[in-house]
Amino acid sequence: MENLIKKLNDLKENIVRIKAVLNIDKKKTQWEELNILMSQNDFWSDNDVAVKISQKAENLKSEISRFEEIEEEIGVIEELALLANEYEDDSVCRDVEDRFKEVEKKFKDLEFLLLFSEELDNSGAILSIHAGSGGVDAQDWAEILERMYLRFCDKMGFKVEILDRVIANEAGIKNSVLRVSGAYAYGYLKSENGVHRLVRISPFDAEAMRHTSFAGVEVIPEIKDDDLIKIDDSDLKIDTYKSSGPGGQGVNTTDSAIRIIHLPTNISVTCQSERSQHQNKAKAMEILRSKLYKLQQEEDEASVKKIKGDAGQGTWGKQIRSYVFQPYQMVKDHRTNFSTNRVDDVINGELHEFMEAYLNFLLKNKNK
């Protein structure tokens, strides 16, 4: 039991270290200030600003709570360990050891946060999925990926809003745009940016032949601060059209869907998730702002064409990850060489190991 108490003390020291690196005390002060702001009578007078502040406060509270909960659990384990040591109670010893294993696992999840080293990692994310080459198989694959990310977000407690979704004629989807909100949503999901390759026996082939298909995934941080990116109205071409997505008869029979093209960069965004044309335009502008910010950040490293190429055309030679269903089962990330044969787990949203490998890969290359 003395050895366990020593491990608990080491754990407490490590938590203090992580809290210092992640500025948890400062974030707690920020959260308290936002709480005071949200308690004011006129807080909801500007709904858009209020929603952004509320989301920021929620993200801060989520991160702070993880540390408070683990510190509280360590305190309980310490008390139990002292009792077990004093009375030499084997049943209490077993309970203490089981609790310690659980708190150790939670600590490893906290350590994962240290891998988020970029400024925008704690932002929300805009995740777009596009069917690539492979015909109906690629469209089905795009829908499988969409479901995979929805399940991952559900496990993480992230909020997901479908901003745009085009259903394919025969099966699957042509594309889907998701807005993901939650602490470090972009930090987690940025590892998914690129082309995803699927190898399987096609359910759409009468001869049951093996097919290869592709889907492109683009992940960008959600930028809500208008001051970061200034957009000139004269640079925009705005089209309206009837929504083809879910939402009821009112959505589908009115020109509520919005397409915005930024003429200088030829970046195009669409949104049709809301009944109101005004709301769809506001959300489309948020996506455009995020895309332009990301483009601005990467201009020193690559041209616009190269940036689009990372997640655009789904074809041979550009894949970041391969998912092989037949003749064997394996998922392999070609950037990190991390692989697993637990294909079903991955498709059901178990992506942490791939994300951790990618974040370590980024840190390693950053420090070179």
Give the residue from 164, 162, 140 showing the smallest Cα distance to 153.
162
> With bands split at pLDDT 50, 70 and 90, how would you rate the model's confidence at 152?
very high
Give the residue from 304, 12, 354 showing the smallest Cα distance to 193.
354
**Which residues neighbour 220 within 8 Å (Cβ) at sequence distance 6 or greater?**
125, 126, 186, 290, 291, 293, 294
> With bands split at pLDDT 50, 70 and 90, how would you rate the model's confidence at 209?
confident
- Asked if 78 and 8 touch (Cβ cutoff 8 Å), the reply is yes
pLDDT at 274 over 90: no
Give residue 125's identity as a one-letter amino acid code: A
| Residue 23: count of CB within 10 angstroms of its CB | 11
Joined together, the tokens standing for residue 38 give 């949200």
The DSSP output letter for 223 is: -
Pairing of strands 339-340, 236-241: unpaired
Look at residue 354 in the predicted model and tell me its pLDDT: 96
pLDDT tens string 69-124: 999 998 888 888 888 777 776 777 888 888 888 888 888 888 888 888 787 888 89
Class of domain 125-224+303-366: alpha beta
**Tokens 């384990």 correspond to what residue?**
77
* Helix then strand then coil, % of the chain, to nearest 5: 50, 20, 30
Look at residue 194 in the predicted model and tell me its pLDDT: 93
Look at residue 94 in the predicted model and tell me its pLDDT: 83
- Judge whether 2-115 and 125-224+303-366 match in fold: no
pLDDT tens string 79-94: 888 887 777 767 778 8
Distance CA 69, CA 78 (A): 14
pLDDT at 307 over 60: no
End-to-end Cα spacing for the chain: 43
**Which residues neighbour 199 within 8 Å (Cβ) at sequence distance 6 or greater?**
210, 211, 212, 322, 323, 324, 325, 326
pLDDT at 335 over 80: yes
> With bands split at pLDDT 50, 70 and 90, how would you rate the model's confidence at 352?
very high
> With bands split at pLDDT 50, 70 and 90, how would you rate the model's confidence at 4?
confident
> With bands split at pLDDT 50, 70 and 90, how would you rate the model's confidence at 314?
very low
Distance CA 6, CA 104 (A): 13
Pairing of strands 173-181, 267-271: unpaired
User: 359, exposed or middle or buried, with CB in 10 Å at 0-12, 13-18, 19+?
Assistant: buried
**Tokens 């699927």 correspond to what residue?**
198
- Give the global pTM: 0.75
Distance CA 225, CA 94 (A): 51
Looking from the CA of 3 toward its CB, the CA atoms found within 13 Å total 2
pLDDT tens string 8-21: 888 888 888 888 88
Domain boundaries, the chain: 2-115, 125-224+303-366, 233-298
Looking from the CA of 99 toward its CB, the CA atoms found within 13 Å total 21
DSSP helix/strand/coil, 308: helix
**Averaged pLDDT of the chain:** 84
pLDDT at 22 over 80: yes
Q: From residue 242, how far is each of 254, 259, 283 by CA, in Å?
A: 5, 11, 17
Look at residue 249 in the predicted model and tell me its pLDDT: 41
Chosen CATH of 233-298 out of 3.40.470.10, 2.60.130.10, 3.40.50.1970, 3.30.160.20:
3.30.160.20
DSSP helix/strand/coil, 61: helix
Class of domain 2-115: mainly alpha
Distance CA 277, CA 8 (A): 56
247-250-254 Cα angle (round to 5): 110
Distance CA 86, CA 89 (A): 8
